[in-house]
Amino acid sequence: MSDIASTALTSPSGSVEPGSVVVVGSINVDQLIRIHRHPKPGETLIGTSMEFLPGGKGANQAVAAAQLGARVSMVGAVGRDSQAVVAGAILTSAGVEQSAVRTVDRPTGLALVSVAADGENTIVIIPGANAVMDAEAVQASATLIAAATVVVLQGEIPADGIVRAAQLATGRVVLNLAPVIELDAEVIRRADPLVVNEHEAALVLAQLEPQRAIPTDDAELVARLRESGVASVVLTRGARGAICADRDGTHSVASPTVVAVDSSGAGDAFVGALSAQLAAGAPLLRAVGLAVRVGAFAVQGRGTQTSYPMLADVLPTTNAMVHA
């Protein structure tokens, strides 16, 4: 495995005309609570602020990709309530095409997000309208999904909806299996790449190889996922960057050092940036190099979608050395 500095990789500014990205996933409102520290079990603390912001892993990733220049469509669902307006506000301003977003007789999805002073967060999700995104609902957008250059999936809609989207895709499938849910092994192997953090990687590998011991080393997890038949893997490591592996090799990509304010949307910013670059034809290593910089940008701002960069923004860089 080689280490490569993210400074060796290009910014998306002035990138080639992108292909299409279709995100099939969740749309939420984030109830964002700020606290000095997270409470212990049974403890009551007084928070410092509360606000309602657009969220949902699917919507977050769609916004992140669109704001970096990708042509993005969203497939999902919201409720017939005032929260739907909040949930879709930045999708609209970012230019995400939403004709495949359904309005249903359930409340818009809600994420209860608590962010401590050190930037660490806890999240509880109430699916709401996202729970209707099953195989039948996804099938209604079959033509849109089949035409996409990249189809982006996560774990916040029903499993059969994820399976159907992967079956319909003719382009590249980016599967961010977060949270980790049970999926057929062949659907996981359809991912190119599978995007997971170290904890999620272990859970996914246990699904693919239930009879074998699970390694604790990040690089070994990536190697085993590849050995189990996943075409390409990206393992995100927070402030330590990411490891990516495909047929061109395995590489460690350093992340810029920044002061974290709120880490709640960084993973989705990463996936959105990665998907935008892949849709534009970038190789996986270059796409990951850009994505770690976008993730580092995002942790410096508050909220999820509100912290994501535009094309004109200057992304953080690192002076890390390049090692063969």
Question: Which amino acids are annotated catalytic?
Answer: 268
Mark out the alpha helices in 151-298 (DSSP H runs). 159-168, 185-189, 198-208, 218-227, 266-279, 284-298
Can you tell me whether residue 249 is helix, strand or coil?
A: strand
Can you tell me whether residue 50 is helix, strand or coil?
A: strand
Q: Is 46 exposed, middle or buried (0-12, 13-18, 19+ CB in 10 A)?
A: exposed
Region of residue 53 (left: phi > 0; alpha: psi -120 to 50; beta: else): beta
Q: Using an 8 Å Cβ cutoff, are 187 and 164 in contact?
A: no
- Block residue for tokens 């994501």: 308
Kindly write down the DSSP assignment for every residue of 109-158, as one continuous string: EEEEEEE-TTS-EEEEEE-GGGGG-SHHHHHTTHHHHHT-SEEEEESSS-
CA separation for the pair 121, 309 (Å, rounded): 21
| Count of positions (residues) in the chain | 324
CA 120 to chain CA mean position, Å? 17
CB atoms inside a 10 Å sphere around CB 312: 7
Strand 172-176's sheet: what is its strand order?
A: 2-4, 249-253, 242-246, 233-236, 194-197, 172-176, 150-154, 20-24, 71-79, 97-104
